[in-house]
Structure 1
Amino acid sequence: MKTYRIYINDNTLIIADKLPEQTETIQMVEEKGFNFKTFYEKLGKLSATPYAIVTEDPKTLFRTIRKSLTIIKASGGLVSNAKGEYLFIFRNKKWDLPKGKVEKGEGMKEAGLREVEEECGVKINSNNERLCKTYHVYEMNGKLVLKRTNWYSMTVKGVPRLIPQKEEGITKAEWLSAADLKPVLKNTYPSIVDVLKAGKLIREKV
């Protein structure tokens, strides 16, 4: 099944060739005549609702939506240490993973490594395979922006001390085991949950 998830504030737009199985009620959206900007404007800013468009060709519909938006590329990492713990940051009153915008002339993988090292004061030992991509839509200077973030699996040697980059609004950086993720899952972004699923830290709901 080919599925795209676009996160808009606390809402999710799922584009898929069949309806995903999940516990929440999904609001169906008609594919015919769909206009993303109109859809965005009608969304309640505070309602955490999953919406879905079921289409025979999710890739083409997603590309059509993407063309109507301004694209920003970002990259980040799910970093593990020698004890099998994972690096989390606390920023804007939510748990997050280190990430940032790709600079001109920079590769996605290279950008993810640089952002992690800058935001947490660590030296990355290995920057492995890409785990997933996430998509987040927001307004910037009156335009709708689609931020596409590539997430990579990374490692460090030993258990280095973390230095949160305060000027980037990061108030904490911590190593957490997979068993200690309950506070994170209660207070993080849906896109981060997707990264944790891709990294097999949490299981998909059956």
Structure 2
Amino acid sequence: MYKVFVNDKPLFLTNQISKETDFQLFLLESIDIKQVIIKMFQNKIQKAYLYHPDESVIMKTLKAKIPVNKAGGGLVFNKKGEVLFIFRNGKWDLPKGGIEKGELIETTAMREVEEETGVGGLKIVKKLQKTYHVFKRNGNYKLKVTHWFEMQSSFEGIPQGQLDEGIEKVAWLKPSEIPMALQNSYENIKLLFEEEKLT
């Protein structure tokens, strides 16, 4: 099952029908995906499932209907085991950004971490899950697919937020401080921490 966040509300792409009742279920063949997304942005739908017997077909269909933005980001640890967070648009987030032409996604992730936070000395430890969310820019909907990597940093200076990206602050958070930050974060970011078992 894929979980795509639309305006921070979950849109599940699934090949199983369950008996829950707190969501709307749509059949891929008979629904206009874009209309579902618009209704989620308008808060008319809080949670939806898109069903097709083959999950991969749903993702292909979604990508065919909505332009895809590929991004890379980092879940960065320092030597003390603290995690690098950025604060932007009133929420805690992790550094990430769009891929540039001809760039490897690992390179994108490390470049974006460094650009957005000033933190260098990065080394990728392992690949994490991809996250998906739909955003609206200039009246157009886009699907952002972010490839996440766990990284270690030997950086010992003071992180600097990239002001032209609207980053108000950058902080190394202790594991004990992370649950509080996640209360004011995005659903996609929470997913990464569920996977990492850090909270």
Q: Give the TM-score normalised by the residue count of structure 1.
A: 0.87
Q: Does 1:63 align with 2:63?
A: no
| Deviation (angstroms), 1:136 | 1.2
Distance 1:48 1:79, change over 3 A: farther
What's the offset of the Cα at 1:159? 4.4
Q: Which has the higher helix share?
A: 2
**Cα distance in structure 2, aligned partners of 1:116 and 1:47:** 35
Give the aligned partner of residue 95 of structure 1.
Answer: 92
Specify the alignment match of 1:4 in structure 2. Answer: 2
Q: Give aligned-pair identity as a percent.
A: 35
Indicate how the Cα distance of structure 1 residues 31 and 68 shifts in structure 2: closer, same or farther if over 3 A, else same. Answer: closer
**Which residue does 1:139 correspond to in 2?**
136
CA RMSD of aligned residues (A): 2.3
Q: Distance in 2 between matches of 1:123 and 1:15?
A: 37
Structure 1: give runs of 5+ residues left out of the alignment.
none
Relative to the length of structure 2, the TM-score reads 0.90
Q: Is contact 1:98–1:116 with CA below 8 Å preserved after alignment?
A: yes
Superposed, 1:1-206 pairs within 5 Å as 3-18=1-16, 25-46=22-43, 49-157=46-154, 159-202=156-199
Matched residues, number: 199
CA distance in 2, matches of 1:105, 1:25: 43
Q: Which amino acid aligns with 1:143?
A: N
Deviates further, 154-163 or 59-68: 154-163
Shift of 1:92: 0.5
Runs of 4+ in 1 over 4 A off after TM superposition: none
